[in-house]
Amino acid sequence: MNILYDETGRLFKIDTQHTSYVLGIVDEEGFPGHAYYGPILEDIDVAYCMRIAEPPFVPSQNNRDRGCFLDTFPTEFPGNGVGDYRESAIEIADGNGNRAVQLFYKSHRIYPGKPKKEGLPATFGTDAECMTLEIVTQDPVLDLEVILFYSVFADTDAIARSVRVVNRGKESIQLEKIMSASLDMDNDNYKMLTLHGSWARERQMEWRSIGHGRQSVGSVRGESSHQEHPFLAVASENCTQTAGDVWGFHFVYSGNFLAQVERNQFDSLRISMGIHPGGFSYELKPGDVFEAPEVIMVYSAEGLGAMSRAYHDLYRNHLIRSPYKDRKRPILINNWEATYFDFDTDKLLAIAAEAKKAGIEMLVMDDGWFGHRNDDNSSLGDWQVNEEKLSGGLKYLVDQVNAIGLKFGIWFEPEMVSPDSDLYRQHPDWAIAVPNRVPCRLRNQYVLDLSRPEVVDYVYECVASVLRSANIEYVKWDMNRQLTDVGSGYLDNKHQGELMHRYVLGVYALQERLITEFPNLLLENCSGGGARFDPGMLYYSPQIWCSDDTDAVERLGIQEGTALLYPLSTIGAHVSDCPNHTVGRVTPFETRGHVALAGTFGYELDITRIPQEDRDMIPGQVELYHKYNDLIRRGDYYRIASYRDNHFYDCYEVVAKDRSEALLFYIQVMNRPNYHSRIIKVPGLDDTRRYRVEGEERTYAGSTLRNAGLVIPNMWGDFQSKLIHIVATDL
Ligand code: GLA
C-alpha cells in the first residue's frame, strides 16, 4: 500500500498491492478529476486519461463552453446544477432555496492509519495496516467544505472511500443529497452485477447490460433490505469467477441507499453510491458536520473470485470487531422452527437435554417469551418475561439450561412496538407515524422512533436489563418490518427529512452500547431473515441470519450471493426439519448439514421429535463442524460451479491460507440419468505440493488438481452432497 502525491502534476496515486487509483487536480481553479482505477501502475502521470487537452475541454479562462467541459470531465466528486448533467454527488439547498454546488481543491493530507467515523460503522486498522488520503474541497460561494477520504490497507486490495461535509458558512443549509462515492470511467461494453431478492430469496445474483441513461438499485425501506443489496459491480463482458475485470462497490450502511451506473452520451460511465436521496434532507447549521458512510471499492483483474476474497479478508480483518470473529461459535439450536410461539420451560428444557446429548452447545429461545405474545399480534415493546409460559422465570430457565451443560441465547426485536402492548398504550407517540394518518401496519406492528433519545434509552434498558438478569451469552437482534409513514413526533417540520438516517444512527448507537456493556456477548443480527445483512451490521455483530429460508437447495443460491461479498464465518446457517417449512421440499439430513457447515452452523428443529435416523446423524455433523470450522472461518473461498447456471450441481471450496488443506463442497441438486461422473477442477492449492484426498490412497500435485481435477461419481437421487477434504502430504 502507498499513497503518493506528485506536486508538479498535482496527481494523487493510491496503491493497494495489486491496484492503483489516480486522481488529479486540474486547471487553476482546481477541479478534482478522476484519471484511473485498475491494475497497479508504475507511473503516476496518467493525467492524460482525463483528456483535458481535447475538446470539449475548455480552460476556465475561456468561459464560452464551460458547460461542455463540466458535462464530460471525469469529475472526482460531482457538484450539482452548474453544467454537469450527470448524477450529482451532492446537492445543497441554501437559504434562498438554490441548489448549486461546485467543489474545488483546497488542500490535502496523507497520513498513516484511518480516522474513526463517529456514530457510523467503518473499516479500521492500525497505522501500520492502513493509510489515508484526505482531500479538502470547497465551494467558495456556499462556504462549504467537502472532505474526501480514501484509505488503503496493506493486506487487501480494497479502498475505503467516504465523505465529510462541513458547513463553514454563516447560514444554515439543507444537505439534500450526499453520495459517498462517485467514479467516472470509460465504458468498454461492461455489464453490471447486482443482488436482488425478497423474503426467503435474498441476494440472488443478477447481470444486466449497461444501457445509456441511469440504471440503479436502491432501498427506501429504512433498511438495506431483502429486495436489493447495497452493492454493485461493473465488469468486463467476459468476466467469470477466475478472469476478467471487475470493479465492486459495497456500502457500509444499513439504511436507504442508491447504487447506480449512468452511461452518458460519450459512453463513459458514472458509478454513484450513497444514502438514497429520496426523502433525505439534513440541516447543517453553521459549523455542523455530516459524516457520510463508507463505500468499499475493490478492483480485481482476476474475475469475481478475487473480488470476493478481497471483501472477505477486509471484513474479517478490518470491519468485524467482535471477540468471536476468529473463534468457533457455539453450535446452537434455535426453537423458532421447532415450536414457533408454542413453548414453555419444560419444552425448552427437553430440547436442551436432547441437544446436549447430541453435542449441541447452546439453546436459543426465539420469539414469544415476553408480554402475552402467543402469536405475532402483540407485546413487542413489553420485554418482560411471560411467566405463564416460562414458569419459574427467565433466570430459572437459563440456570437449568446451563445445568444441562448448554449456553443460553435469546431473541429480541428491540426496534418495534405492537399496537397491542403496554408500551404503545403509554407512548403512542413513540411510534413512527405521520400526523393525521393511520400508520400502515406490517406484521401487525409499528417501528419505534429511534431519532428520539428517550426511546433509544428505553429500548436499551429493556434489552440490557434482561441480559443483566441471567447468564445470557447470545442475542439474536431481529427487525421484522420496513419503515413506512415516515414521520417523527420528536423532530420539527424542518427535520423530518432526517428521520430515516437518524433511525439508522439510533440502531448503531443501541448496538454500540450493547457490545460495550456486554463485550463477550455473541450478537447475531437478523431482519425477517436476511434483510439487514450488510457491512454496517457486521461492525456490531460477527454473524447475521442469512435467510428465513432454511431449505438446503434454496440456501445454495442465497449463500452463493451472500458469499460473493461476505466471509462464510458471517453467514447464519442452520439445519432444519423436513418437509421444509418454507418450500415443502424434502432433502437428505446429510445435505442439510453440509450446506449449513458453509456458514455459522446450528440447528433449527425440534430435536425431540425429528426422525431417529436424523437425530443419530447430529453427533457426526457436530464432529464435522469441529473438524472443519477453523478452515471454513479463516480460509479463502472459491466458487466453482453454480446450480443456478447449470441446473444440476453446485460446488464451492475453502482453501487454507497456507494452502495446506482444502474442503470441497459438492451438491448434486438434480440427478441426471445416463450421464458421466463429473470432473471438478480444484483451484487455490499450491501447484507444486502434493495432496491426498481423505479416504484415498493416491496423491496429486496441486497443479494436477487445478488442471486435471477430481472425479466426482454420480450419486443416487436428487439433493445429494459430498464433502471432499484435501490435505497436503508434507504436513
Ligand atoms: C424473523 C426471523 C426468524 C424468527 C422470527 C420470529 O422472521 O428471521 O428467524 O426469529 O422473526 O418472529
pLDDT in tens, 137-187: 999 999 999 999 999 999 999 999 999 999 999 999 999 999 999 999 999
Pocket test for ligand 1, best of 442, 475, 478 (most atoms within 8 A of CB): 478
The predicted structure's pLDDT at residue 731: 83
Does residue 278 carry a pLDDT above 80? yes
Which of 318, 347, 368 is at the close of a domain?
318
Does residue 57 carry a pLDDT above 70? no
* One domain, residues 195 and 266: yes
Note whether residue 652 is domain-resident.
Answer: yes
Note whether residue 524 is domain-resident.
Answer: yes
Dist. CA 256–CA 272, nearest whole Å: 14
Dist. CA 308–CA 240, nearest whole Å: 12
The predicted structure's pLDDT at residue 277: 98
* One domain, residues 175 and 276: yes
The overall average pLDDT reported for the chain is: 97
* One domain, residues 302 and 349: no
* One domain, residues 618 and 717: no
* One domain, residues 191 and 301: yes
Q: Do the bridges between strand 543-545 and strand 522-525 make them parallel or antiparallel, or are there none, so unpaired?
A: parallel
Q: Are 720 and 697 in contact (CB under 8 A)?
A: no
Choose among 29, 74, 67: nearest CA to 51. Answer: 74
DSSP annotation string for 578-640:
SS-TTT-----HHHHHHHHHTSS-EEES-TTTS-HHHHHHHHHHHHHHHHHHHHHHHSEEEEE
* One domain, residues 213 and 295: yes
* One domain, residues 310 and 410: no
Gap from CA of 657 to ligand 1 centroid (Å): 35
pLDDT class of 63 with cuts at 50, 70, 90: confident
* One domain, residues 154 and 273: yes
Note whether residue 34 is domain-resident.
Answer: no
Dist. CA 211–CA 260, nearest whole Å: 12
Of all residues in the chain, what percent carry a pLDDT higher than 90?
97
- The phi and psi torsions of 592 (rounded to 5 degrees) equal -60, -40
Ligand 1 nearest-atom number relative to CA 545:
8
Comparing 184 with 55, the larger pLDDT belongs to 184
Note whether residue 20 is domain-resident.
Answer: no
Pocket of ligand 1 from Cβ distances under 6 Å: 336, 366-367, 376, 411, 478, 480, 526, 528-529, 545, 548
Note whether residue 65 is domain-resident.
Answer: no
Does residue 62 carry a pLDDT above 90? no
CATH number at residue 651: 2.60.40.1180
- The phi and psi torsions of 302 (rounded to 5 degrees) equal -120, 40
* One domain, residues 695 and 594: no
Question: What is the rounded average pLDDT of the residues 120-134?
Answer: 98
Does residue 36 carry a pLDDT above 80? yes
* One domain, residues 356 and 422: yes
Note whether residue 129 is domain-resident.
Answer: yes
pLDDT in tens, 592-636: 999 999 999 999 999 999 999 999 999 999 999 999 999 999 999
Pocket test for ligand 1, best of 199, 373, 526, 582 (most atoms within 8 A of CB): 526
Which of 285, 318, 351 is at the close of a domain?
318
Ligand 1 nearest-atom number relative to CA 604:
9
Comparing 346 with 64, the larger pLDDT belongs to 346
> Atom 1 (ligand 1): residue with closest C-alpha?
528
Of all residues in the chain, what percent carry a pLDDT higher than 70?
99
Which of 578, 605, 634 is at the close of a domain?
634
Look up residue 498 and give its DSSP letter. G
Note whether residue 584 is domain-resident.
Answer: yes
Which grid cell is 613?
Answer: 435416523
The predicted structure's pLDDT at residue 672: 94
pLDDT in tens, 66-123: 888 899 999 999 999 999 999 999 999 999 999 999 999 999 999 999 999 999 999 9
Note whether residue 269 is domain-resident.
Answer: yes
The predicted structure's pLDDT at residue 65: 82
Gap from CA of 637 to ligand 1 centroid (Å): 28
Q: Which value, to the nearest 10 degrees, does the dihedral of the CA atoms of residues 127, 42, 6, 133 take?
A: -30
Dist. CA 106–CA 126, nearest whole Å: 27
How would you write 79-101 as a 3-class SS string? CECCCCCCCCCEEEECCCCCCCE
Dist. CA 614–CA 617, nearest whole Å: 5
Residues with catalytic roles? 478, 548
pTM comes to 0.98
Question: What is the rounded average pLDDT of the residues 688-711?
Answer: 97
> Atom 2 (ligand 1): residue with closest C-alpha?
528
Does residue 53 carry a pLDDT above 90? no
* One domain, residues 621 and 655: no
CATH number at residue 192: 2.70.98.60
When divided into structural domains, the chain yields a total of: 3
Gap from CA of 356 to ligand 1 centroid (Å): 24
pLDDT in tens, 309-338: 999 999 999 999 999 999 999 999 999 999
pLDDT in tens, 190-227: 999 999 999 999 999 999 999 999 999 999 999 999 99
The predicted structure's pLDDT at residue 60: 60
pLDDT class of 536 with cuts at 50, 70, 90: very high
Question: What is the rounded average pLDDT of the residues 18-24?
Answer: 98
Alpha helices in 375-487 (DSSP H): 393-404, 422-426, 453-468
CATH number at residue 346: 3.20.20.70
pLDDT in tens, 435-467: 999 999 999 999 999 999 999 999 999 999 999
The predicted structure's pLDDT at residue 58: 63
pLDDT in tens, 342-369: 999 999 999 999 999 999 999 999 999 9
Gap from CA of 612 to ligand 1 centroid (Å): 27
For 275, the domain range is 79-318
* One domain, residues 656 and 585: no
Gap from CA of 547 to ligand 1 centroid (Å): 9
pLDDT class of 61 with cuts at 50, 70, 90: low
Q: Are 322 and 541 in contact (CB under 8 A)?
A: yes
Q: Are 638 and 652 in contact (CB under 8 A)?
A: yes
pLDDT class of 56 with cuts at 50, 70, 90: low
